[in-house]
Amino acid sequence: MEHLLNWIEIPVADMKRAVSFYGEILEIELNPFAMGPIEYALFPVNDQYNCGALAKGDGYLPGIQGPVVYLNGGNDLRDVLDRVTDAGGQILVPKRLVTDDIGYIAFIRDSEGNKIGLHSRAYPRREAGK
């Protein structure tokens, strides 16, 4: 298998709210479009085999149960986590180290009620000289 994931769809009930939430916490601009009756907002990525979108339409029901999608949390998850509450989400599990090789994870509830994982391979910030 060349890669595990080709496409991710995160279900949303309110596209405008969800675009605002993810745009704010990840500091990105999503690209909304419609394909038939389904509304999408694409995440900006450079890798065609590592991409996805927010999705709204029949059969897309946000929820906290089911598979968990892990999004790239950047160099330090604290930066993203610091924006979650103000953007309308909730921190479910704060930043925690899995292992030095794997890095850090955290779980949030997004503006739509989905449980989303965040992942960062970065080591914690160190004070100067340490």
Please check whether residue 38 lies inside any domain of the structure. yes
Q: How many CB atoms lie within 10 A of CB 93?
A: 12
Please check whether residue 53 lies inside any domain of the structure. yes
The pLDDT, as a whole number, for residue 129 is 46
Query: Average pLDDT, stretch 28-39?
Result: 95
The pLDDT, as a whole number, for residue 53 is 96
CA atoms of 42 and 106, how far apart (whole Å): 23
CA atoms of 94 and 40, how far apart (whole Å): 29
- Domain total of the chain: 1
List the 115-120 sheet strands across, edge first: 69-72, 115-120, 103-109, 90-99
pLDDT-derived band at 124, boundaries 50, 70, 90: low
CATH no. for residue 37? 3.10.180.10
pLDDT higher than threshold 60 for residue 25:
yes
CA atoms of 55 and 10, how far apart (whole Å): 6
Please check whether residue 127 lies inside any domain of the structure. no
For residue 1, the one-letter residue type is M
pLDDT-derived band at 1, boundaries 50, 70, 90: low
The range of the structural domain enclosing residue 81 comes to 7-120
Contact 120, 74 (CB under 8 A): yes
Please check whether residue 1 lies inside any domain of the structure. no
Beta pairing class for 51-56 and 38-42? antiparallel
The model's pLDDT over 83-120, given as tens digits with 9 standing for 90+, comes to 999 999 999 999 999 998 899 999 999 999 999 999 99
The model's pLDDT over 48-76, given as tens digits with 9 standing for 90+, comes to 778 899 999 999 999 999 889 999 999 99
